């Protein structure tokens, strides 16, 4: 993850401006939501240089003459000044506040008839202390805890929406994580509780000039009383060539993500059917996966064979699978590790455990530790909270390994080599006392059902890279039948022989059908649904475009 100094100033403030065509689209949505003769005040919470303010001049006469005044905010004074000029050019009353919207929203008593804009997309770690304090106050005012919120757009949006009068409209550009991301659940629940005519217009990358990522325009009208439940939500899916499809769905409060509603109802029925089978359960019922070893300095504790040799570190070196690209199959065996080692990979983890010889007593290990001291590793946070700084905690190998980030899908592997892993590969084990073996779980894992739930539960990053955290892994649907492990050696060999990811999925599906665990029709629907969500993740987020291994998200 990047630190503040490595991120551009524009990125730190979420300073990407909305192209005119997208601004106009938002104003059209707004026009369709504001009733007849109603006059209204406009709030633009993060105005930049005034794209949405200038957009007023291009709206239909009828709408424009009903705007009574505009209040905008922009944290960068020079940009706020440009927005102010745009507002003066319109000859409309109003002001551009040269400050953060957040303390203002936490305190104001003003009401508005329309919120438009494109809130700043800034990761919470980069939000200023002053804004963090304002977010806490705002949360208190709205009766919300912003604890799990990962991005600035969420409090900026909710702080603004709280100032919308009943009948007032919302029309804003948001990242598509507003629809799919779990941390945006607070926004979806708020919208469901307060808004009617909610519509998500989803635009693929390239729909508008300069828009490289999929974006959503979210629009709706604040209900007079608490919105009727259950309320329908509309989706309009736009294609790059200006065609569109629309449908609606009825989410339940507390749904973790709405990703499933991107699917046709017959796919949703197939998922429900599969989930009701005795042979299917959440992964957390049969196994536990967890974050593996946290060294605090991988480039010091994970070393290649030459380093072990040079400093005489053999007594502390444990076999390491540093990256899943060094595992060519579904079973990780000793030969795989030997090959990785011979290729010069970091194939050893240094474990200066209390029960091992004292590294201070031999000259080679002592001088290796000195290289770490020279690099000031003892002062690094993770090293500084343990004694001695070089004793890595929780050094265990799991019987199961799972790649953390993936391109097509994560790979579950049987750890026959007792390999240790760090932060790119989760470790785990089947729950003790259950009928299922680790081999059973691995053999059935790469089927359309499980990998469809990977798409539904996972989060996607730049370039479409998919990541699962342990709580999401626990919710994946897996086939829980003992005996599948009999087929693991065959599947492993096929993968080692070069069978591609799609063929592995087809082969695993066929195995489940042959064993009577899933019906061919259900499997066919699940496979289609998975492809649809995967293609969407990969193509709609392709802007990152970096080269990745077909299976994992590691550099190829
Ligand atoms: C995505 S840009 C959008 C600008 C403009 N609304 C547009 O659509 O072109 C977000 C803007 O929010 C501003 N910003 C960031 N944090 C802010 C805050 N706490 N209060 C007000 N504006 C903020 C940034 O400087 C940036 O200009």
Span from the CA of 64 to the centroid of ligand 1 (angstroms)? 23
**CA distance linking residue 417 with residue 339, whole number of Å:** 13
Give the Cα-Cα-Cα angle 428, 396, 504 (nearest 5 degrees).
35
User: For the stretch 478-500, what's the b/e string if a residue is b when 16 or more beta carbons lie within 10 angstroms of its beta carbon?
Assistant: bbbbeebbebbeebbebbeeeee
pTM for this model (two decimals): 0.84
**CA distance linking residue 40 with residue 113, whole number of Å:** 5
Coil, strand or helix: which one is 39? coil
For residue 295, give the nearest of 377, 174, 194 by alpha carbon.
Answer: 377
Residue 297 has pLDDT above 50, yes or no: yes
Span from the CA of 31 to the centroid of ligand 1 (angstroms)? 23
What number is the average pLDDT over the span 231-244? 88
For residue 72, give the nearest of 95, 54, 55, 49 by alpha carbon.
Answer: 95
Structure confidence at residue 554 (pLDDT): 54
Span from the CA of 19 to the centroid of ligand 1 (angstroms)? 14
Residues at CB less than 6 angstroms from ligand 1: 13-18, 46-48, 51-52, 73-76, 79, 100-102, 117-118, 120, 131
**Contact (Cβ atoms closer than 8 angstroms) between residue 463 and residue 476:** no
- pLDDT class of 209 with cuts at 50, 70, 90: confident
Span from the CA of 441 to the centroid of ligand 1 (angstroms)? 47
Return the best residue to mutate from 51, 71, 75 for the ligand 1 pocket (most ligand atoms within 8 A of CB).
75
Q: What are 127's two structure tokens?
A: 């939000």
Residue 299 has pLDDT above 80, yes or no: yes
| 188-192, 237-241, 276-280, range with the lowest pLDDT | 237-241
- Closest atom of ligand 1 to CA, residue 51: 9
CA-closest residue to ligand 1 atom 26 = 15
23 or 193, higher pLDDT: 23
CA-closest residue to ligand 1 atom 9 = 17
Helices (H), 59-184: 61-64, 77-90, 101-107, 129-142, 153-161, 177-180
Residue 185 has pLDDT above 50, yes or no: yes
CA-closest residue to ligand 1 atom 27 = 48
Structure confidence at residue 556 (pLDDT): 38
Span from the CA of 68 to the centroid of ligand 1 (angstroms)? 23
Structure confidence at residue 212 (pLDDT): 77
- Closest atom of ligand 1 to CA, residue 47: 6
267 or 150, higher pLDDT: 267
- pLDDT class of 544 with cuts at 50, 70, 90: very low
């Amino acid at each position: 993850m990047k630190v503040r100094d490595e991120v551009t100033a524009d990125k730190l403030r979420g300073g990407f401006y909305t192209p005119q065509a997208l601004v106009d689209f938002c104003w059209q949505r707004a026009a369709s939501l504001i009733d007849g003769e109603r006059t209204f005040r406009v709030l633009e919470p993060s105005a930049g240089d005034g794209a949405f303010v200038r957009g007023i001049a291009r709206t239909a006469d009828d709408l424009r003459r009903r705007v009574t005044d505009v209040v905008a905010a922009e944290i960068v004074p020079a940009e706020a000044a440009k927005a102010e000029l745009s507002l003066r050019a319109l000859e409309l009353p109003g002001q551009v506040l040269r400050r953060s919207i957040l303390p203002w929203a936490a305190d104001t008593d003003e009401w508005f008839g329309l919120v438009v804009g494109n809130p700043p997309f800034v990761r919470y770690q980069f939000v200023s202390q002053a804004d963090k304090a304002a977010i806490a106050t705002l949360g208190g005012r709205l009766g919300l805890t912003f604890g799990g919120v990962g991005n600035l757009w969420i409090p900026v949006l909710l702080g603004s929406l709280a100032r919308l009068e009943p009948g007032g409209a919302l029309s804003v550009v948001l990242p598509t994580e507003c629809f799919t991301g779990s941390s945006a659940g607070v926004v979806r629940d708020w919208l469901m509780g307060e808004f009617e005519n909610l519509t998500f217009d989803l635009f693929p990358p390239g729909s508008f000039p300069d828009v490289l990522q999929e974006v959503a325009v979210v629009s709706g009208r604040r209900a007079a009383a608490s919105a009727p439940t259950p309320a329908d939500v509309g989706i309009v899916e736009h294609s790059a060539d200006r065609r569109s499809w629309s449908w609606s769905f009825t989410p339940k409060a507390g749904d973790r993500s709405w990703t499933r509603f991107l699917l046709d109802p017959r796919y949703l029925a197939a998922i429900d059917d599969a989930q009701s089978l005795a042979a299917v359960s959440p992964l957390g019922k049969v196994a536990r996966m967890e974050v593996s070893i946290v060294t605090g300095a991988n480039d010091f504790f994970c070393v290649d064979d030459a380093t072990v040799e040079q400093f005489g570190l053999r007594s502390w070196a444990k076999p390491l699978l540093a990256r899943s690209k060094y595992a060519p199959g579904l079973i990780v065996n000793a030969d795989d590790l030997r090959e990785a080692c011979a290729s010069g990979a970091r194939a050893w983890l240094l474990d200066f455990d209390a029960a091992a010889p004292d590294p201070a007593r031999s000259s080679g290990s002592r001088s290796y530790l000195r290289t770490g001291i020279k690099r000031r590793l003892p002062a690094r946070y993770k090293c500084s909270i343990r004694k001695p700084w070089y004793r890595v905690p929780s050094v265990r190998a799991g019987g199961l390994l799972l790649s953390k980030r993936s391109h097509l899908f994560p790979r579950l592997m049987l750890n026959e080599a007792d390999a240790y892993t760090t932060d790119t590969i989760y470790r785990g084990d089947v729950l003790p006392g259950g009928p299922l073996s680790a081999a059973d779980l691995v053999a059935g894992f790469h089927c359309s059902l499980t990998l469809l739930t990977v798409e539904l539960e996972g989060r996607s990053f730049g370039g479409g890279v998919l990541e699962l955290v342990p709580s999401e892994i626990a919710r994946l649907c897996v086939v829980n039948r003992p005996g599948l492990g009999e087929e693991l050696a065959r599947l492993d060999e096929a993968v080692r022989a070069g069978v591609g990811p799609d063929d592995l999925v087809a082969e695993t599906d066929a195995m489940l059908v042959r064993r009577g665990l899933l019906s061919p029709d259900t499997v066919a629907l699940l496979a289609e649904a998975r492809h649809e969500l995967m293609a969407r993740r990969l193509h709609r987020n392709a802007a990152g475009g970096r080269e990745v291994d077909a299976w994992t998200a590691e550099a190829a």
